[in-house]
Copies of this chain bind each other. A is one copy, B any other.
Amino acid sequence: MIRPNRSLDAIPTSEPFIGPERLMRERGLGALLRLGANESAFGPSPLAVAAMAGELPHQSWYGDPDSFELREALAKRWSCTREELLVTSGIDDLLGLVVRCYLEPGESAVASAGTYPTFAYHAIGHGGRIVGVPYREDGRPDLSQLVRAAHSSRATLCYLANPDNPSGSFFDGDTIARLRSELPQATLLLLDEAYGEFVDSADALDERVVPGVVRARTFSKVYGLAGARIGYAVAPAELLAPLLKVRLQYGVNRNAQIGGLAALHDASFVREVVAQNSAGLAQYVALGRELGVPTLPSRTNFLCFDFATAERAAAVLDALLARGVWTRRPGVAPLDRYVRVTVGDAAARATFAAELRAVSAGALA
């Protein structure tokens, strides 16, 4: 009989995320306020929409497998060569490629326990071992423990989201440089900077190629193109070379390439999104203060409300969902006492505030 590879037997059928569409179907909800996946409330740049619309009649053509024009534009922005850039079908695709190329079955990868789950999904899917390092009580990744775990487990990969998802916390460029220097030289640092554009460049790691680091960037967040599935790696060319042996050559869709290129050139739109997002974060902080619910500092387009216990956080999440507001609760302690809420536009924030007040009166009483 036909039998799948034995290595798959040990891999559970799991899903990093349940999509909101399934939640709606299963709960019989007609509409859902999407504040659970950190999708941009401010949409794609109008320039990107116009560029994509103009190209739709040419969807019968494949995209350029080299993503040449986009890499040219990115190379200018990052002051690097095209060979130091790889365009992928979103960061998820890139995480899978890095794991496939740098994590042999049985080898260890280090990550914060409860961080963005798709990295662990790939690591387990490729037969690797995930060494999960607990978050600190204040919700921040524990860098010194990540370093220690990388040494003790002889990890070939260390994954860090910075700014972090789901906590929203951020380490500045100097701290990340120190992390790299303290990790074993043989450990690749996979730095997921999906929310990097929300951080002032003065605080962040310079926009450049860093030895021993694969930096993952995306058009899904500040650029508002999550549905288009496009992201990229910035890394030394020799770290990217193995990925070119196995990547899906025609994996990036044409519309995403065109939209991404247009979005990249719309700097004023990005500034406007960042400004509106900051205003939204401030409103969430004020809402938390009003309700007596502490919030975590965030350098992203989402914010965690701290409901003190996992039980209370779960009750709030469920109550919000029943009222048509989709948020998310991290699954692992100590983060499981948070409810993570995406910054909505003004109308969505008003709805969320009203619903959280109503829920609080009940669940938090």
**Interface residue ranges, A against B (CB under 8 Å):** 1-8, 11-17, 19, 21-22, 25, 34, 37, 39-44, 48-49, 52-53, 55-66, 68, 89-90, 92-93, 96, 100-104, 118, 121, 125, 156, 185-188, 212, 220, 224-229, 239, 241-242, 244-246, 248-256, 259
Contact = CB atoms under 8 A, between A and B. Distances in A.
13 contacts: A13-B244, A37-B61, A42-B60, A43-B58, A55-B227, A59-B227, A62-B220, A63-B229, A92-B248, A228-B253, A228-B255, A229-B251, A255-B255
Interface pairs A-B: 3 shortest CB-CB? A227-B254, A60-B224, A4-B242
Contacts of A100: 5
B104 A5 contact: yes
A62 B256 CA distance: 13
Contacts of A259: 59
B53 A6 contact: no
Given A60-B43, A66-B21, A8 B250 contact: no
Contacts of A44: 56-57, 59-60
Contacts of A125: 245-246
A96 B248 contact: yes
Nearest to A16: B249
Given A229-B253, A249-B16, A61 B34 contact: yes
Contacts of A34: 61
A241 B13 contact: yes
Nearest to A41: B60
A246 B57 contact: no
Given A2-B188, A13-B245, A15-B249, A61 B39 contact: yes
A300 to B, nearest CB: 15
Given A19-B64, A44-B57, A121-B249, 4 more contacts: A2-B188, A21-B64, A25-B68, A61-B227
A125 B248 CA distance: 11
Contact of A17 (B4, B65, B227): B65
A13 B2 CA distance: 31
Contacts of A8: 101, 242, 245-246
A55 B52 CA distance: 11
B253 A6 contact: no
Contact of A226 (B3, B19, B59): B59
B187 A22 contact: no
Residue among A49, A102, A251 with the most chain B CB within 10 A? A251
Contacts of A186: 1-3
Nearest to A95: B248
A52 B254 CA distance: 13
B249 A17 contact: yes
A222 to B, nearest CB: 10
Contacts of A89: 89, 229, 248, 251, 253
A253 B256 contact: yes
A250 B19 CA distance: 9
Contact of A66 (B7, B22, B53): B22
A38 to B, nearest CB: 10
A212 B1 CA distance: 9
Given A64-B19, A253-B256, A102 B4 contact: yes
Contacts of A7: 104
A16 to B, nearest CB: 6
